């Protein structure tokens, strides 16, 4: 017998028919003798509808009341799933985030989980053999007694945090895909599903554009050692595929040099030309951007021949491009740059793999292969287990397919 947390996203619970399908997945695990807690998202599209209602009510709405409204979507799903499970003869009860409780800080709309008190859920496993159906995406700020929400993708984070708190043997994240792939199958139909991937690799892939899991959920799983499966809720509940296991590096016997290729279209490039090359200039540029909560990613600095000026290129999220330009124009006097240039038609393509630690020349092969395809690289960043290149958006598919093939990811394992 094992203790499981099963999480189902919005497309998996889009209507009552799909909720019944979810219930069959849950019943399979209950019939196998497992203790089960389920975390659910709102029905597909419901959160967007609730957000729109808040904006219609007032553009400058109270963040606390916003959370009270948008948290209701998950409550509906949790209650409906509990009803369906009961109809199947399974003891089940729905839980709101504050009832568990899942405790968070007070940052409404983007709250972070501080702790989960799952003792009552565990007691009901023992006493009643009861399935706990928990509303994801939400928690409680104990000091104010107010409901909080965790931001988009927060149900993944709720599930992993709950799994860590109740010492679950594993956390199964059910989505509309059957696992983690070597790249986006929509771009390269030779993409393969991975049997296993390390926490570090999954964290990089999630942060670099792969949409399978929310980044914070992977961070939590890595910190607490929660073995996590990505599985499809659309598989036959009687005979589902195993999905992809996200686990410690030590559990992966055969380590490929490159595990996956990710890409992100959410990029914009900014370049400051002929910036005075003196101490404090970088702080004058990036300090105001940080104060505005604009994340800066790739940074390249090239000193001119006379060593008195430099060009600085960096990327920001595309949604923050206009704000970043406005901030940089405002600090032009303090920074002293000659011109400001920008582009939004760029894409970041990344190769990820723990095998890079022990292999030289991995990135060099990619640069050569991209050059042979006529793809110009605007910027490069590297770390121990990944490298990223910034290219023109028009070459996205060609670059992804080129790198996917270069590292043999299109071949059967």
Tens digit of pLDDT for each residue in 227-242?
999 999 999 999 998 8
Mean pLDDT confidence for 334-361: 91
Whether the Cβ atoms of residue 203 and residue 215 lie closer than 8 Å to each other: yes
Question: CB–CB of 240/231 below 8 Å?
Answer: yes
Is 265 annotated to bind ligand?
no
What was the pLDDT predicted at 289?
95
Q: Annotated binding residue at 7?
A: yes
Structural contact between residues 337 and 273, judged by C-beta atoms closer than 8 angstroms: yes
212 marked ligand binding residue: yes
Lowest mean pLDDT among 29-43, 159-173, 210-224, 299-313: 299-313
137 marked as part of a ligand binding site: no
- Asked if residue 254 has pLDDT above 80, the reply is no
What gap in Å lies between CA 75 and CA 80, rounded to an integer? 9
Per-residue pLDDT at 43 exceeds 90 = yes
Mean of per-residue pLDDT scores for the chain: 93
Please report which confidence band the pLDDT of residue 154 belongs to, taking 50, 70 and 90 as the band edges: very high
Residue 407 annotated as lining a ligand binding site: no
Is 56 annotated as contributing to ligand binding? no
pLDDT band at residue 91 using 50, 70 and 90 as cut-offs: very high
Query: What residues form DSSP beta bridges with 172?
Result: 6, 229
The string of pLDDT tens digits covering residues 357-376 is: 888 889 999 999 999 999 99
Cβ proximity of 183 and 262 under 8 Å = yes
Looking at residue 404, its pLDDT comes to 97
Q: Which residue has the tokens 């209701």?
A: 72
| Pairing relationship of beta strands 146-149 and 196-198 according to DSSP bridges | unpaired
Among candidate residues 278, 258, 218, the one with its CA nearest the CA of residue 408: 258
pLDDT of residue 306: 66
Give the per-residue pLDDT at 252: 83
**Is pLDDT of 94 > 70?**
yes
The pLDDT value recorded for residue 168 is: 97
* 8 annotated among ligand-binding-site residues: yes
Mean pLDDT of 13-18: 97
Cβ-contact 342, 354 below 8 angstroms: no
Q: Does residue 157 contact residue 214 with C-beta atoms inside 8 Å?
A: yes
Would you state the pLDDT for residue 413?
60
Identify whether the C-beta of residue 118 lies closer than 8 Å to the C-beta of residue 100.
Answer: yes
pLDDT digit string, tens, across residues 284-308: 999 999 999 899 989 988 876 667 8
175 is known to lie in a ligand binding site: yes
251 is in an annotated binding site: no
Please state the pTM of the whole predicted model: 0.87
For β-strands 146-149 and 138-141, DSSP reports them as: antiparallel
Which domains are delineated in the chain?
A: 3-250 (3.40.1160.10), 261-406 (3.30.2130.10)
Per-residue three-class SS string for the chain = CCEEEEEECHHHHCCHHHHHHHHHHHHHHHHCCCEEEEEECCCCCHHHHHHHHHHHHCCCCCHHHHHHHHCHHHHHHHHHHHHHHHHCCCCEEEECHHHCCEEECCCCCCCCEEEECCHHHHHHHHHHCCEEEEECCEEEECCCCEEEECCCCHHHHHHHHHHHHCCCCEEEEEECCCCCECCCCCCCCCCCECCEEEHHHHHHHHHCCCCCCCHHHHHHHHHHCCCEEEEECCCCCCCCCCCEEEECHHHCCCCCCCCEEEEEEEEEEEEEEEEECCCCHHHHHHHHHHHCCCCCCCEEEEECCCCCEEEEEEEECHHHHHHHHHHHHHCHHHHCCCEEEEEEEEEEEEEECHHHHHCCCHHHHHHHHHHHCCCCCCEEEEECCEEEEEEEHHHHHHHHHHHHHHCCCCCCC
pLDDT at residue 352 above 80? yes
Rg (CA), the chain: 24
Range 38-67 average pLDDT: 95
Q: What pLDDT does 412 receive?
A: 67
Q: What is the share, in percent, of the chain residues with pLDDT greater than 90?
A: 81
- What φ, ψ does residue 352 adopt, rounded to 5°? -125, 140
47 is in an annotated binding site: yes
């Amino acid at each position: 017998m094992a203790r499981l947390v099963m999480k189902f996203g919005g497309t998996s619970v889009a209507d009552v028919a799909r909720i019944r399908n979810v219930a069959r997945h849950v019943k399979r695990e209950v019939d196998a003798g497992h203790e089960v807690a389920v975390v659910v998202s709102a029905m597909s599209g419901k959160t967007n509808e609730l957000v729109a209602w808040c904006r219609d009510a007032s553009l400058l709405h109270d963040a606390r009341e916003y959370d009270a409204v948008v948290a209701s979507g998950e409550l509906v799903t949790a209650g409906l799933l509990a009803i369906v499970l009961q109809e199947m003869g399974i003891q089940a009860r729905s839980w709101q985030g504050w009832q568990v409780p899942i405790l968070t800080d007070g940052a409404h709309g983007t709250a972070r989980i501080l702790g989960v008190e799952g003792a009552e859920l565990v007691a009901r496993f023992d006493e009643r053999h009861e399935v706990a159906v928990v509303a994801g995406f939400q928690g409680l700020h104990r000091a104010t007694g107010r409901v909080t929400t965790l931001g988009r993708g927060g149900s993944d984070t709720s599930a992993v945090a709950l799994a860590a708190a109740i010492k679950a043997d594993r956390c199964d994240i059910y989505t509309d895909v059957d696992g983690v792939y070597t790249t986006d199958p929509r771009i390269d139909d030779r993409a393969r599903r991975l049997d296993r991937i390390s926490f570090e690799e999954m964290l990089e892939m999630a942060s670099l554009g792969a949409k399978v899991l929310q980044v914070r959920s992977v961070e939590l799983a890595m910190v607490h050692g929660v073995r996590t499966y990505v599985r499809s809720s659309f598989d036959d509940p009687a005979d589902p595929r195993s999905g992809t296991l996200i686990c410690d590096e030590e559990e992966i016997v055969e380590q490929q040099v490159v595990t996956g290729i990710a890409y992100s279209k959410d990029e914009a490039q900014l370049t400051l030309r002929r910036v005075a090359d003196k101490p404090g200039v970088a702080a004058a540029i990036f300090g105001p951007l940080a104060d505005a909560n604009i994340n800066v990613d790739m940074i390249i600095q090239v000193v001119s021949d006379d060593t008195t000026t430099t060009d600085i290129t960096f990327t920001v999220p595309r949604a923050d491009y206009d704000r970043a330009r406005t901030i940089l124009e405002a600090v032009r006097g303090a920074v002293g740059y000659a011109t400001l240039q920008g582009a939004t038609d760029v894409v970041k393509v990344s190769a990820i793999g723990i095998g890079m630690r022990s292999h030289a020349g991995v990135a060099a092969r990619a640069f050569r292969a991209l050059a042979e395809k006529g793809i110009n690289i605007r910027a490069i960043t590297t770390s121990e287990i990944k490298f990223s290149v910034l290219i023109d958006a028009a070459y996205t598919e060609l670059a992804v397919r080129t790198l996917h093939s270069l590292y043999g990811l299109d071949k059967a394992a």
